[in-house]
Amino acid sequence: MAKVHNYSAGPCILPQEVIKEAAEAVLNFDGLNLSILEISHRSPNFVTVMDEAVALVKELLEVPAGYSVCFAQGGASLGFLMAGYNMIGDHKKSAYLNTGTWSDKAIKEAHFFGDVDVIGSSKEDNYNHIPKGYTVPTDCDYLHYTSNNTIFGTQFKEVPNTTIPLVCDMSSDIFSKKVDISKFDLIYAGAQKNMGPAGATLYIIKDEVFTRNRIKIPTMLNIETHVKKDSMFNTPPVYPIYVSMLNLRYLKSIGGVPAQQKINEEKARILYAEIDSNPLFKGVAAVGDRSNMNATFVLTDESKQAKFDEMWKAANISGIKGHRSVGGYRASMYNALPVSSVQVLVGVMKALD
């Protein structure tokens, strides 16, 4: 069968090399003559997988000393709650930047813990840009933001300046570009974009957080629980973590985050160049805030929609229909999407008349 150009917004494309090894382990893991689906998470073979996954995260993201890495479940949506539980302190107040649907949901959960100061928002403009010029209050326990906004196609190009602890939902651009981890107190990310399949969530936390004056935290929502037990306080999502480990191992093999970042920048350059030069298309997000992960664009002449849709489908492109809250198209160019798939899409855009 012809290769599918998989632009799925998430869960998203994974490298073929990873998928092959992932399938083999379902049949026979590590030569044990057992499936990875039916072994104990406390077996030495899986403990090795977990240790390697954590070590790869630390190496690939250059996680500094004084930080811990662990895996949990529940996705970023549970992360919204865990951020509050773990970070709220004496101020009983948090600051948030509202840059999209996921920020908005994070803000909703933050209200569970006290006042929320939304210090910047692009909600009124359907989140078509990243807010600027905001002032970070000093009477909040932390500032929270969403680094990349999958639905609207915007991305922070700089880490916000703040003197209060910084928390980031990096679900959709972690491992896609270099990040200075030392600027953050807490980072969380659902696996299902650039880390692996759905079902695992990554937490990176400054150990100092555990020493602060915190509220009473339920066991499973306390990140310290998972850190102290090496992500095995309870049965972890074995297979999603295994495939994430394979994917991170693959990322390392191609040169790590810097090499991947170059590929991602190249893909974004090619696609945005076409959006900007082709009069039949128009970008949705403010140019300076454009995401390298999710490019959102619309047709300038809606009457061409049926034809364009027919053309990209014929080219074996899948997953570029825009989210209902934006419309048009969204090309998600996560790590595993090859440059050649972007060239195919651009070829279709050029051929439209």
The residues assigned a catalytic role are 102, 169, 193
Q: What is the Cα–Cα distance from 239 to 243, expressed in whole angstroms? A: 6
Stretch of 61-69, 131-139, 214-222, 297-305 contacting a second copy, by CB under 8 A: 214-222
- Name the residue type at position 302: E
b (16+ CB within 10 A) / e for 237-272: bbbbbbbbbbbbbbbeeeebbeebbebbeebbeebb
Stretch of 50-58, 132-140, 216-224, 296-304 contacting a second copy, by CB under 8 A: 216-224
Closest distance between a second copy and the C-beta of residue 20, in Å?
7
Closest distance between a second copy and the C-beta of residue 62, in Å?
27
Chosen residue from 161, 182, 219, 305 binding a second copy by CB under 8 A = 219
Closer by beta carbon to a second copy, 12 or else 63: 12
Residue with tokens 């491992």: 175
Closer by beta carbon to a second copy, 11 or else 137: 11
**Structure token pair of residue 204:** 């990176």
Stretch of 215-223, 272-280, 294-302, 307-315 contacting a second copy, by CB under 8 A: 215-223
Q: Of 121-150, which residues contact a second copy (CB under 8 A)?
A: none
Q: What is the Cα–Cα distance from 330 to 101, expressed in whole angstroms? A: 15
112 in contact with a second copy (CB under 8 A)? yes
Closest distance between a second copy and the C-beta of residue 22, in Å?
5
Closer by beta carbon to a second copy, 9 or else 63: 9
Q: What is the Cα–Cα distance from 86 to 184, expressed in whole angstroms? A: 14
| Number of chain positions touching a second copy (CB under 8 A) | 66
The site string for a second copy over 48-87 (x = CB under 8 A, - otherwise) reads ------------------------xxxxxxx-xx------
**Structure token pair of residue 166:** 């910084």
Element (H, E) at 314: helix 305-314
Among residues 167, 164, 100, the alpha carbon closest in space to that of 135 is found at 164
Chosen residue from 48, 180, 208, 218 binding a second copy by CB under 8 A = 218
Q: What is the Cα–Cα distance from 129 to 100, expressed in whole angstroms? A: 10
22 in contact with a second copy (CB under 8 A)? yes
Would you say 127 and 100 are in contact if contact means Cβ atoms under 8 Å apart? yes
38 in contact with a second copy (CB under 8 A)? yes
Closest distance between a second copy and the C-beta of residue 200, in Å?
8
Q: What is the Cα–Cα distance from 14 to 11, expressed in whole angstroms? A: 9
The region that residue 92 occupies, defined by phi over 0 for left and psi between -120 and 50 for alpha, beta otherwise, is left
Closer by beta carbon to a second copy, 102 or else 184: 102
The site string for a second copy over 183-202 (x = CB under 8 A, - otherwise) reads -------x-x---xxxxx--
Helices 238-253 and 256-277, axial angle in degrees (round to 10): 80
The site string for a second copy over 296-335 (x = CB under 8 A, - otherwise) reads ----------------------xx----------------
293 in contact with a second copy (CB under 8 A)? no
Strand spans (E) along 123-200: 143-146, 148-149, 154-155, 166-169, 186-190
Q: What is the Cα–Cα distance from 35 to 24, expressed in whole angstroms? A: 9
List contacts with a second copy (CB under 8 A): 1-4, 6, 8-14, 19-20, 22-24, 26-27, 32-35, 37-41, 43, 72-78, 80-81, 105, 108-109, 112, 190, 192, 196-200, 216, 218-221, 233-240, 243, 318-319, 336
